[in-house]
Amino acid sequence: MHEPLLNRVHELRDLAGVINLATWDQETYLPRKAEAARAAQLSTLQGLYHERLVDPRVGEWLAATPVTTARERALVRVLTRERDRAVRLPSRLVKAIAEAQSLALGAWREARAKQDFRVFQPRLETLVRLRREQADALGHDGERYDALLEGFEPGMRVARLAPVLTSLVARLEPLVTAIEARGPPRDVFAGKQFPGEAQWAFTLEVLEGLGFDLEAGRQDRSIHPFSSGLAATDVRLTTRLREAQPLSAIFGTIHECGHGLYEQGFSPDDARTPLAQAPSMGLHESQSRLWENLVGRSRPFWSFFYPRLVARFPAQLGDVSLDAFLATVNRVERSFVRVEADEVTYNLHVALRFELELGLLRGSIAVADVEAAWNEKTRRLLGLEVTRPTDGVLQDIHWAWGEFGYFPTYALGNLYGATLFAAARRALPTLDADLAAGRPRGLLEWLRQNVHRHGAQFDAEDLVRQVTGQGLRDDDFIAALTARYG
């Protein structure tokens, strides 16, 4: 590969790392009065990244660079795809989106505090307008959503995604109804308080136990859990603590740990290149959902970790059996908040957001009407009445980031994750025994070898097919739910 192109690739990845660092800080430690300054800084950084990427010389170098290995072919393919999208966007629009995202985050936090969507509405209107403009600049065949979805899940289109989600909802609804008919198990956390610092200590114990390298990453606190990979040696995770709901922090940590393990598992040979990333957010979410649900809600996992949780909270859990605890962990009920939803109803939340985002991008739903539309769809899909915005339209951070097209990747991640986990089970006959003994490294190494180390060398579905013999399908996911819930 030509040295000038490789140097530029390294510069771009370094810039991306600094942008991610500034964004992580914005959600964790940034002083409230610094929001406008950070908006300007991110606008400048995003503008610099865009200018360095669309530089005509990069196109010339890509056309002229000798490609002799599969890795080089993949690197040129991934960089070309990113650049082809970038050259269609004027620098003015890139900077405007970056600034709008930063300002929207502050408005979203204020709106949540005041329980008033109207505080956030003007900023969301700006982001929707800019994302429509972005979609039109990128180009599409009539669905603006396709252009934005491509940025998260290359190759996916509404025409394929909508039937996948429709089929998934149709298969889940009778399962939810059947489980609900049995009646809810006792909530072993009801009426109890779990001090935040003890929760925090337990989440760090879980992180280390699952194999997350705390010398190459860290965990902090935020309103909405998220992860950010600055490099394979610098991965930032966050969780949130609720003293009456300890599972919020525990499963937030396990979910983000799944992302973090993926980020730490990229090949060192790909450092400072676009191959050191997931090929799609659907595959990235497959890792978080696999660890959160298929491992983190299992009896083998808690056979090891539950005694350690009880040791942190003897007064609250000392008389609670593992069976009673697992019944609460795997409680299935329709609920308002996506990040705290059980694994059976979770995809109903994704379908709700997909329908709304599609309407916003098409223009069939106005931002002024989106809160009412959210509440109506919650009533239809989940059978619940939203009474406050933080249980509805203000619960997710994604729209404050302007990330329209991201939500469907959670559902795709559930499907990919189940297919990968089924393959891991076939390859690792002692998996349950290893998890029960506190030895998840066998599973982690299997994922390292088959998924993580490849980075973006293969497209997501191609990689899953290579590993498992199956592409995108919901059979393994439904089978996993049926096995757990009967």
* Cα 379 to Cα 368: distance, rounded to the nearest angstrom: 19
Model confidence band, residue 399 (pLDDT cutoffs 50, 70, 90): very high
Residues 6+ apart with CB under 8 A from 43: 95, 96, 98, 99, 102
Q: Tell me the chain's radius of gyration from C-alpha atoms.
A: 22
Query: pLDDT digits over 14-71, tens only?
Result: 999 999 999 999 999 999 899 999 999 999 999 999 999 999 999 999 999 889 999 9
* Cα 155 to Cα 176: distance, rounded to the nearest angstrom: 31
List active site positions: 256
What is the per-residue pLDDT for 2?
79
* Cα 90 to Cα 322: distance, rounded to the nearest angstrom: 57
Q: pLDDT averaged over the chain?
A: 96
- Please give the share of the chain, as a percent, with pLDDT higher than 90: 98
Stretch 92-120: mean pLDDT: 96
Query: pLDDT digits over 287-311, tens only?
Result: 999 999 999 999 999 999 999 999 9
Phi and psi at residue 472, to the nearest 5°: -75, 120
Q: Give the burial class of 434: count Cβ atoms within 10 A of its Cβ; 0-12 exposed, 13-18 middle, 19 or more buried.
A: middle
Stretch 135-140: mean pLDDT: 97
What is the per-residue pLDDT for 177?
93
> What sign does the CA torsion over 289, 295, 299, 305 have?
negative
Task: Tell me the two tokens of residue 485.
Answer: 């819930």
Query: pLDDT digits over 403-443, tens only?
Result: 999 999 999 999 999 999 999 999 999 999 999 999 999 99
Residues 6+ apart with CB under 8 A from 215: none
pTM greater than the 0.85 cutoff: yes
Model confidence band, residue 254 (pLDDT cutoffs 50, 70, 90): very high
* Cα 101 to Cα 124: distance, rounded to the nearest angstrom: 9
pLDDT at residue 1 is higher than 90 = no
